[in-house]
A and B are shown apart, each in its own frame.
Chain A
């Protein structure tokens, strides 16, 4: 069953310097309980896509959006700002790419966490919220949940803030989790634990995950299907095993080649831009993998 379906999504920012088209017609779909990865160039439009799904960019007046985004069969464009708002943090939630600027720097973690929990269970008591929050933090391998709840974001390490964001995003068991670079600031063992946690959510609650990442290794281990994006266009998509086992688009191949190897061998000199990267998109058949 399709949970989220995006068709021909275009996005233009109207800036002082003139309009800039950032997304040139993105189509993608995520089924219930599916783990879908979006990988690609820095600045290619991964985060804005997630923000559109969450309904955040619709509220920004200099953003012009066309195409359709359907969530649970409903066209997001038809929803009022209020309906979108009530969906956020409950039916769908997002792990933002930059935890330090997504958490409010002037409040401690505790009250911020309580606000999140309050969206899922309105009227939750302070004590109950704190206990739930502490438990969620422990699940993302935070060793001293109480200290973290009493801290301001600047008193925590980058990876701790990121884990706080992850715990918040998972707290209300959303139907769709938008995970924007959820592991950049985590060491690999903690990262593996957070991935397990997400897998658990998917298995137990049928949560679907849109997983945005630069880390090809993580994508390969986590995602059922993968979309590769370059300059606002999907260039390759298909079951993860197919995309990684048989990358056919020049950009995907370049990415794979540029991934540093644990076995060493230095860093290849591949240009960041190449006309071959603009070749038409390649879609692998669903095959037996998905």
Chain B
């Protein structure tokens, strides 16, 4: 732990990232406590205060129906992070397992799995999610499904590439000669050697998932009102630029801060954990 702090201290960029991430996570966890107007997360209308520029009462100003933007941004973080967690909790284990199987078992399984993965990877992520969302009703759950469906192949590809290199290492041969099971070799011998790269990617992806979900909402396909979402806020606010600039700028900055923070931490982790690529 102390060593981790030392390393952070020696890497100002990683430290910056860590602070940003910490802020975002705290904001999401403590939204009810920190938000000045927690009830504004829902369908509240306050016509007396609508479309106000930033002030002492409303740090980020208010939106078109008078809700406190600062409070809504905090709650939007909560949704975004939750989405990120759900997407990654499903897609990482699936992607990693398939990557291990394709890379280690080889043969027909490798061929089939990797062709499927390539197909998914060849479709631009947003297009895939949009087409799924086009078929399904645009609910939050479906949004998560859509994003998850396009996320696992990245982990399959990443792990597959690592496994193909690890497979020729002597320790895998040694385990095979001892007679260890395929399951053991994949998950206990090879997987630990994929962990640094996977952890790094997870961190980077938190930023990207937030970005993708925001993009979907920006297109009206993601999180639906009145649930606060950074992407839809930017989309709505953009229509009132430049006069009511705060409507788009603050949610936009919020996205930037989160994505930037996770990226810096991911880069730092890559160095610290010694992951390649």
Contact = CB atoms under 8 A, between A and B. Distances in A.
A adjacent to B, CB under 8 Å: yes
Interface of A: 16, 18, 61-62, 100-101, 105-106, 153-154
A62 B164 contact: no
Contacts of B168: 100-101, 105, 153-154
Given A61-B271, A62-B271, A62-B274, A105 B165 contact: yes
Contacts of B165: 105-106
Contacts of B108: none
| Interface residue tally on B, bucketed by range | under 10
A105 B164 contact: yes
Contacts of B3: 16, 18
17 contacts: A16-B3, A18-B3, A61-B271, A62-B271, A62-B274, A100-B168, A101-B168, A101-B169, A105-B164, A105-B165, A105-B167, A105-B168, A106-B161, A106-B164, A106-B165, A153-B168, A154-B168
A142 B97 CA distance: 40
Nearest to B166: A105
Contacts of A154: 168
Contacts of B164: 105-106
Nearest to A154: B168
Nearest to B271: A61
Interface string B48-63: 0000000000000000
Closest 3 CB pairs of A and B: A105-B168, A61-B271, A106-B164
Nearest to B167: A105
Contacts of B167: 105
Nearest to A106: B164
Contacts of B271: 61-62
A106 B165 CA distance: 8
Interface string B194-218: 0000000000000000000000000
